[in-house]
Amino acid sequence: MAAQDALPQVVIKNVAEELKKNPTIKPPEWVFVVKSGTSKERIPEQPDFWYLRCASLLRTLYVHGTRGVQKLRHKYGGRKEHTVSRPHHWKGGGKIIRVALQQLEQAGYVEKENKVGRHLTKLGQSLIDKLSKNN
């Protein structure tokens, strides 16, 4: 079963559990004090939010290919309700995405492409492939 065919929730959960074992990837101390975007009302409530976000970033890069921070901010953004006018889409927080990508880059899962964005390395692809077959 390919990673695109597997359930995203299961793949992300499996990859997050594997990322917890990697000493390079650890949540910054400020991550549980800030919101993950302007459309959010509260800070993340999940205790393993950082690992889930890193795993989700890996899967996104696996499925969609090279992505920059701006496209990822759009993906992780959300709808913000207004009282008078229509709701609008707001981008997600860029610092969380940027630091997560930098940690994934240090771990060897992601590589920076010249002024285009980041893409998965062979190690990152094999991690996603291996853990998507465990469904």
pLDDT 10s digits, 32-64: 888 887 778 788 888 899 999 999 999 999 999
pLDDT of residue 41: 76
Q: How far is CA 51 from CA 45, 78, 96, 104, 120, in A?
A: 13, 20, 12, 11, 17
Per-residue pLDDT, 2: 67
* Contact call for residues 129 and 4 (beta carbons, < 8 A): no
Closest CA to 18 of 104, 118, 76: 104
Position 77 confidence tier, pLDDT thresholds 50, 70, 90: confident
CATH number 1.10.760.10 given to 8-132: no
Integer Cα distance of 75 and 56 in angstroms = 11
pTM for this one? Answer: 0.89
Q: Is the pLDDT of residue 17 over 60?
A: yes
Beta-ladder partners of 80: 88
94-124 residue pLDDT tens: 899 999 999 999 999 999 988 889 999 999 9
